[in-house]
Amino acid sequence: MSTRAINGGLGAIMVIAIVLSFAAARDFSRPNLEFLPDMVHGPTYHAFEPNPHTPDGKTLRPPAPGSIPRGQMPFRYERTEQDALRAGSELTNPIPADDDAAQLRGSVAFAVFCQPCHGASGAGDGMVAKRGFPPPPSLLIEHAVNMKDGQLFHIVTLGQANMPGHAAQVSRTDRWKIINYIRSMQAAASKRPAGAEAT
């Protein structure tokens, strides 16, 4: 077979393919044919509606045993000093200390949730303490400075002594950002001359 015949045949096939592609083009003004329409148009139920298709008659299903909600990592520590120390050795702060946006967010969260008791500088002289509630220890003393981030996270999460836990009010990420902000306050306090007042 000659090259001219092969080229001619390929050209004819190409023309036929183009014609067929235009002839078979989808008409978007008409719906496609549906096979097994029940798979597409099944009955729907609202979350709290009774459902005759489930064994307990409820539409809303309980989570599978052992499942973890998205973004809610388990916190397997108790409100004890031993577990606070264990958290200090096992947990590390995932938020970089030099993240300016995180520092700003940490300062805002500290002002809302921590400042009423701990004061603006972290010295334990907040308005709640000035109104008769036992003042918390200063966050600027050596003991607080030497605490590991994980231990501080444990205390913010579960509380300690008179301080309640803040896990229900402050997100996990914001708790770490608060700790970074506390570290920045401690660093700033260590640079002040001895006897200087916190402002």
pLDDT in tens, the chain (199 residues): 688 888 888 999 999 988 888 777 667 777 777 777 777 777 788 999 999 989 999 999 988 888 888 877 888 899 999 999 999 999 999 999 999 999 999 999 999 999 999 999 999 889 998 888 888 999 999 999 999 999 999 999 999 988 999 999 999 999 999 999 999 999 988 876 544 444 3
pTM: 0.64
The token pair that represents 95 in the structure block: 């938020």
Of 107, 113, 108, the closest CA to residue 184 belongs to 107
* Long-range CB contacts for residues 43-50, cutoff 8 Å, separation at least 24: none
Q: Which amino acid is at 187?
A: A
State how many domains the chain has. Answer: 2
In a domain, 114, yes or no: yes
Find tokens 């506390």 and name the residue.
182
Residue numbers of the domain that contains 13: 3-33
DSSP-assigned beta bridge partners for residue 50: 58
Whether residue 97 sits in one domain with residue 29: no
Q: In this structure, what token pair is assigned to residue 170?
A: 């402050």
